[in-house]
Amino acid sequence: MTFDAVALEIGTVRLADLQATGVRDDEVAVVLLTDGGNEHRAIVSTTDKASGRGVHRAMRCPRCGKPAGVLRHHEGVLQCARCWPHRTSQQRQSNLAWWRRDGGRQTDQLLRLALGRHRPGRLEKMQALADELVLADEQRLSTLLPHIGTALDGGVPVMADVESVLAIGVQEP
């Protein structure tokens, strides 16, 4: 069996993936990787969707039959957002202390930039976020060093600075 389209995002088929192939059929054979790394093959139907003053093409959800721009793989079936809501990492983790205080938001932004499209200034933003994360980690480490020494040595503070700890971590065996 030949496939008309290959999904570029793990576990997700987007209408843009189908449109990029140039195939204008009512049914399109697609292959995608699931979150577990397995291959999933499916036939995706397209349909017309009323939008504003006109009509445009959309995929038909195999579960509910309604038009959708994105189908996600869940429990062996492609489903739209109405059938299986999907939350972003920011929506799931924004109330956690790790997200707000320990660099979760910056880490997510860095990953989105790394996996996203190549835009002007992208590398500079990535470098700035990485520098911000490293600086915050160094500050947390310098705050913790006296407490670690006290706990390990029975009351004697460790006289190490951040640079020496980082140098030990970087040395090869």
- How high does pLDDT run on average in the chain? 79
Torsion-angle region of 38 (φ positive above 0: left; ψ -120 to 50: alpha; else: beta): beta
Residue-wise pLDDT tens digits, 123-173: 899 999 999 999 988 888 888 877 777 777 665 555 556 566 555 554 444
* Alpha-carbon distances of 151 from 9, 16, 19, 166, rounded to whole Å: 46, 56, 60, 20
The structure's pTM equals 0.53
Token digits for 63? 């579960």
Residue-wise pLDDT tens digits, 100-118: 788 888 888 888 888 777 7
The full length of the chain comes to: 173
Instruction: Write out the H or E segment, with its range, that includes residue 59.
Output: strand 54-60
In the predicted model, is pLDDT for residue 61 greater than 60? yes
Q: Of the candidates 68, 99, 97, 101, which has an alpha carbon nearest to the alpha carbon of residue 82?
A: 68
Residue-wise pLDDT tens digits, 3-50: 566 667 788 888 887 777 777 778 888 888 887 778 888 888 888 888
Strand order in the sheet with 39-51: 5-6, 27-33, 39-51, 54-60, 67-68
